[in-house]
Homo-oligomer: A and B are copies of this chain.
Amino acid sequence: MEKLAEQAARNLKAIRERKPLVHNITNFVVMNYTANALLAMGASPVMAHAIGEVEEMVSHAGALVLNIGTLTEEWVAAMIAAGRKATEKKIPIVLDPVGSGATRLRTESARKILSQTRVSVLRGNASEILSLQDENSRTKGVDAVHGVDEAARTAGILAAELSSTLAITGPVDLITDGRRVVRVANGHPLMASVTGTGCTATAAVGAFLAVDPDSVSAAATALAFFGLAGEVAGDSATAPGSFMIKMLDALFTITPEQLQKGCKIETD
């Protein structure tokens, strides 16, 4: 969709110009890669998780990224403290419910964050997102994998129930706030062989939210940009080590014009 392609270019330009501070409370595995990715694209990352400073830190930020990948109860408490302050100050939040559904601690922590803060975008894979359905959800019993239209309908109901824009990533990403449905087809198979590409896509959504108040267009354009970086990396790398480094390079070198041309965003 042409308007979103233009918006993608505008967002990337704004990130490079304004260098928004993105506060991350994320997992140990991806902290370095995420920080490097945010820096490469032009944002200013900060990682801080101490309960004694997260509220002060997030107050300076343009967006808050929460990620439960290597959670403990203390970290979840810090995420909620930061999230509440962000909610109060109308700073957008993106949540990555890594592994939700795999253990009770993860599912419950993701639900707790969702219920106690205002999450603008919830970014995960289909099984993580579906694990967050309430027992009384109207989506229960719906076969989410029964065709793409059905999936979009289910996602739309869930987005409305969770009051968040959902960004469900996969070969084609699905972004919906319950009213609009956008699909992003950028990406490269090697992204699945690098740890934390999902988490880093979430951080990219954070950077885009810092410059674009529309959570659907921020999420879609961020995922298109991140996926395009994968495509550019895949042009010259054939194995995951080189690929992950070239992705960082691409996040730095892709211009707004290239992004506008290269992004594969469609609206239903």
Contact A29 B35 (CB under 8 A): yes
Task: Determine whether the beta carbon of A32 is less than 8 Å from that of B196.
Answer: yes
In whole angstroms, what is the CA distance A247 to B49 when docked? 29
Q: List chain B residues, Cβ under 8 A from A106.
A: 53
> Looking at chain A, what size class is its interface with the partner chain?
35 or more
New A-B contacts (12) at CB < 8 Å, excluding given A29-B35, A36-B244: A29-B32, A40-B240, A46-B99, A48-B103, A49-B70, A49-B72, A50-B71, A238-B253, A239-B252, A241-B247, A241-B249, A244-B245
Copies of chain A in the complex: 3
The one of B52, B104, B247, B250 that contacts A73, using a Cβ cutoff of 8 Å:
B52
Interface membership of A30, Cβ < 8 A = yes
Does A39 count as interface, using CB distance less than 8 angstroms? yes
Output the least CB separation between A48 and chain B (Å). 7
Q: Is A139 an interface residue (CB 8 A)?
A: no
Asked if A105 lies at the interface with its beta carbon under 8 angstroms from chain B, I say yes
Cβ–Cβ contact A36 & B99, under 8 A:
no
Q: Which residues of B contact A249 (CB under 8 A)?
A: 239-242
B240 near A248: Cβ-Cβ < 8 Å: yes
Residue contact A50 to B36, C-beta cutoff 8 Å:
no
Q: Which of B31, B49, B70, B246 contacts A48 (CB 8 A)?
A: B70
Chain A, 164-221, CB within 8 A of any chain B CB? 193-196
Which residue of B is nearest A246, CB measured?
B241
Query: Which residues in B have their C-beta under 8 angstroms from that of A35?
Result: 29, 195-196
Who on chain B is nearest to A193 by CB?
B39
The docked-state distance in angstroms from the alpha carbon of A102 to that of B44 is 14
A248, chain B: closest CB distance, angstroms: 3
